[in-house]
Structure 1
Amino acid sequence: MKKILVIGSLNMDIQVTADRLPGVGETVLGTDYSYNCGGKGANQAFAAGRLGADVVMLGCVGQDEFGRTLIRGLKDNGVCTDYISVREGKDTGTAMILVDSLANNSIVTIAGANGCCDIPYLEKTEPQIMDYEYLLLQMEIPADAVFYAIDHAKEAGKTVICNPAPAPDGLPEEIMRKIDILTPNESELARLSRHKTDSLDGILEGAGKLLSQGVGHVIVTMGDKGALWVSQEGCRMFEGTRVDALDTTGAGDCFNGALAVKLAEGKSMEEAICFANAAAAISVTRKGAQASMPLKEEVLSLMQEE
């Protein structure tokens, strides 16, 4: 298996469940709360490590109990954490997650030490981390650090997978041309492409715009509907696995981590998307982000049942 490098955020998720999400200015009664290891970067690295990948994580945490817990959780699940930076005087990133009875969620993130995952930090770690084939990125760290990593990955002939979440208003075209696989959900695609994505035609138009800007492949994750793969060769819809969803937090991260794992194993894009769909389906049947990530054997078992 080829090595995967994940660069991104590490957060402690403070999750609150309620029958419904509050409106503006409204207070609702919650049913329970919990602390869960999260952050899009850490979630994706955790998912990949739990699925058996050779994965290295780069990112920053504070010198606090949240940071120690996050690093320990990744390490215990097969992720190399040797190069994660512990920043004195900074708090570990946090996320406030509200989940309703239908498994919908709203999330507010506070960057904390994630803001230190910057270009100087990446420059210091570069000699140790150039030994990888797949780079997996998100947008919860400074954008210029994301662009720096993409530039260097392409110069070194690596494969770049970018999950544009949270979605910026757009990405520079010189960066778009260096992204091999872009994995937005429907709302992220709408923001990036400035196309409405409330219909299949709209999704295809939005994905087509990103392809015209130089992206190699666009995989639109569509929740329980599955995932749509769009490339210059055409498009293909991969139906989602029907499950009883409990909590969708981290499902997109699970999909991205699982996708990278199968590609690193040398599998085709079709095989990778099917595997990622199944992994994400399992994750939504459990609470939490990293706590919901499946083992490889669980994913293969679900795929055999379909």
Structure 2
Amino acid sequence: MAEITVIGSINMDIVALTNQYPKHGETLFGHSVTNLCGGKGANQAVACARLGKSVNMIGSIGIDAYGKEIEKNFKQHQIETSFLKRVENESTGCAIITVDATAENTMLVVKGANDSLNEHDIQEAFSQIDNSKVLLVQMEIPEAVVIRAMMEAKSKRMFIILDPAPAEGVTKEALLYADVITPNLQETKHLTGIEVTSIETAIEAGKFFDQTFGIKNCIIKMADKGALLYENGKTTFIEAIPVNAVDTVGAGDSYAGALACAIADGESLESAARFAAIVAALKVSKLGAQSGLPTIEQLNEYCVENNLTYYGLRTKQLR
């Protein structure tokens, strides 16, 4: 069975490139538009697969052209698709994404078939999953499904990574089942009320998660400033890898996927977070939430070229 199980959203991304976003009621001309496989769950599953891990994908798609293309993409990445739910009465989820000249993005998501996933689907899937080491889950599917998945994973002693995105869908109950959460700046502010602008405020947010929610481990992603690992009261700042950013869509998903891969390999949270920082840096330097995700071979080549290392390279360990 697969080392990593991912449960989450599956979408087709319609990505438009433009110099700047149109204002309300304004019409602007963009550069190009492309259809790309996406969705936070699907992105994270592909991230893990491209980094060399075996992956189960649990999610829901429509019986339509987008669903067929997405399933074909999963199979090309050797991702286990037997747990996919295919529904007739809903279209495959879709995200309309605009990327501007600074590589930042806006996103409008139509959930579609993603909302058809239910607790029975999760129980049925986990009855057949025995050897996964890590569960990777987000909040773009119904909350009851997320909580059921984490409960099932707990019973099988899997390490649970919760990417609390979007933050509006996160409740205290969902947070409590996670072994580590990985909020970005916006999600951290929504959940804690703290605007993270420095290492000090990131530490403050980490303490808030611990003291208010009982979350002992979190990684607060601070975009190009780096990340703050809060682990049982101990804090470690991990610097970002400087790159020329082309597309930030999927950066958080690449980070979550890389984190899961390292944990599956038995690495510590710090080692995993350092690995994830390199993967995310390489991702944002390329276009596409999935097409821009690095393979393990590309990652190793990038590390050699840029004098970087991580636990999987034999030169030295980044600890």
TM-score (norm 2): 0.91
Q: Does 1:247 pair with 2:214? A: no
Cα distance in 1, alignment partners of residues 14 and 109 from structure 2: 10
Alpha carbons 1:6, 1:56 under 8 Å: kept: yes
Q: Which residue matches 1:227?
A: 227
After superposition, residues 53-64 of structure 1 pair within 5 angstroms as 53-64=53-64
Give the RMSD, CA atoms, in angstroms: 1.7
Alpha carbons 1:51, 1:295 under 8 Å: kept: yes
Alpha carbons 1:169, 1:191 under 8 Å: kept: no
Cα distance in 2, alignment partners of residues 162 and 189 from structure 1: 13
Post-superposition Cα deviations, 1:170-190, rounded to whole Å, max 9, x if no partner, equal 522x44332101001011111
Cα distance in 2, alignment partners of residues 92 and 13 from structure 1: 11
How far did 1:102 drift?
0.8
Letter of the 1:15 partner, please give it: V
Q: Which residue matches 1:158?
A: 158
Post-superposition Cα deviations, 1:188-214, rounded to whole Å, max 9, x if no partner, equal 111111222233333222221112222
Q: Which residue matches 1:186?
A: 185
Alpha carbons 2:60, 2:86 under 8 Å: kept: yes
SS in 2 for 1:53: coil
Q: Which residue matches 1:15?
A: 15
Q: Which residue matches 2:37?
A: 37
Letter of the 1:289 partner, please give it: A
User: Which runs of 5 or more structure 2 residues have no equivalent in the other structure?
Assistant: 309-319
Cα distance in 2, alignment partners of residues 169 and 191 from structure 1: 11
> What is the aligned residue count?
305
Q: Which residue matches 2:311?
A: none
Q: Does 1:116 pair with 2:140? A: no
After superposition, residues 87-236 of structure 1 pair within 5 angstroms as 87-168=87-168, 170-172=170-172, 174-212=173-211, 213-236=213-236
Alpha carbons 2:181, 2:218 under 8 Å: kept: yes
Post-superposition Cα deviations, 1:140-168, rounded to whole Å, max 9, x if no partner, equal 10011111111222233221100011112
Q: Which residue matches 2:316?
A: none
Post-superposition Cα deviations, 1:222-243, rounded to whole Å, max 9, x if no partner, equal 2222221112241111111111
Alpha carbons 1:57, 1:80 under 8 Å: kept: yes
Mark the CA change 1:108 to 1:229 in structure 2 (over 3 Å): closer, same or farther: same
Post-superposition Cα deviations, 1:92-151, rounded to whole Å, max 9, x if no partner, equal 000010100110101111100000122122123221124322110001100111111112
Q: Which residue matches 1:293?
A: 293
Cα distance in 1, alignment partners of residues 42 and 270 from structure 2: 25
SS in 2 for 1:218: strand
Alpha carbons 1:50, 1:296 under 8 Å: kept: yes
Cα distance in 2, alignment partners of residues 143 and 169 from structure 1: 7
Cα distance in 1, alignment partners of residues 274 and 284 from structure 2: 16
Letter of the 1:75 partner, please give it: K
After alignment, is 147-156 or 273-282 more displaced? Answer: 147-156
Alpha carbons 1:137, 1:163 under 8 Å: kept: yes
TM-score (norm 1): 0.95
